[in-house]
């Protein structure tokens, strides 16, 4: 009897630790793209956090000026709206629109999971192609 109670207590503690450590609270692909879209439309100071440090362009794009003044994510364009498919794979193609006057443009994302057992999944963007052009490598 005591053995069974002890076992149940251990399972309960483990379940609590896992949930509080984020094993069930990680950043999914949908979460990441939603966050990226929100950062594009709001405060861009932490936008780089949506990207994997393994991006070859990481040092170059690790400055706000890159995001605000150099191309398709120019801060002159507002209301970025990325269509997120349900249950997207790590590589998926979709479209986005904004107030630039053009578009909608095709956009392809490749994400990698940089999470671990304790923190759970943590997907980050590794590549972006816009209109079939490699935009972020």
Question: Between 20 and 106, whose beta carbon lies closer to another protein?
Answer: 106
Q: Which stretch binds another protein (CB under 8 A): 19-27, 30-38, 70-78, 117-125?
A: 70-78
Q: Is 42 in the site for another protein (CB under 8 A)?
A: no
Closer CB to another protein, residue 23 or residue 105? 105
Shortest Cβ 14–another protein spacing (Å): 28
Residue among 74, 105, 59, 122 nearest 48 (CA): 59
> By rule CB under 8 A, what string of x and - marks binding of each residue 95-124 to another protein?
-----xxxx-x-------------------
CB of 40 to another protein, least distance (A): 14
Choose which of 18, 21, 23, 64 interacts with another protein (CB under 8 A).
64
Q: Where are the alpha helices (DSSP H) in 21-101?
A: 29-41, 58-61, 64-69
**Taking CB under 8 A as the rule, does residue 92 contact another protein?**
no
> What are the structure tokens assigned to 23, written together?
């094993």
Instruction: Using alpha carbons, select from 103, 53, 113, 108 the residue that is nearest to residue 78.
Output: 103
26 Cβ contact partners less than 8 Å away, ≥ 6 residues apart: 115, 119, 120, 121, 122
Sign of the alpha-carbon dihedral angle for 66, 52, 86, 130 = positive
> Which of the ranges 10-18, 33-41, 115-123, 126-134 carries the binding residues for another protein, by CB under 8 A?
126-134
What are the residues facing 116 on neighbouring strands? Answer: 120
């Amino acid at each position: 009897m005591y053995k069974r109670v002890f076992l149940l207590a251990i399972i309960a503690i483990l379940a609590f630790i896992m949930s509080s450590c984020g094993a069930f609270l990680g950043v999914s692909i949908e979460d990441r793209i939603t966050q990226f879209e929100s950062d594009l439309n709001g405060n861009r100071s932490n936008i780089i956090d949506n990207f994997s440090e393994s991006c070859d362009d990481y040092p170059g794009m690790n400055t706000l000026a890159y995001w605000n003044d150099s191309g398709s994510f120019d801060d002159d364009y507002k209301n970025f709206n990325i269509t997120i498919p349900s249950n997207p794979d790590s590589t998926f193609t979709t479209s986005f629109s904004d107030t630039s006057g053009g578009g909608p443009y095709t956009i392809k994302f490749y994400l990698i999971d940089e999470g671990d057992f304790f923190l759970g999944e943590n997907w980050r963007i590794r590549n972006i192609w816009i209109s079939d052009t490699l935009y972020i490598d």
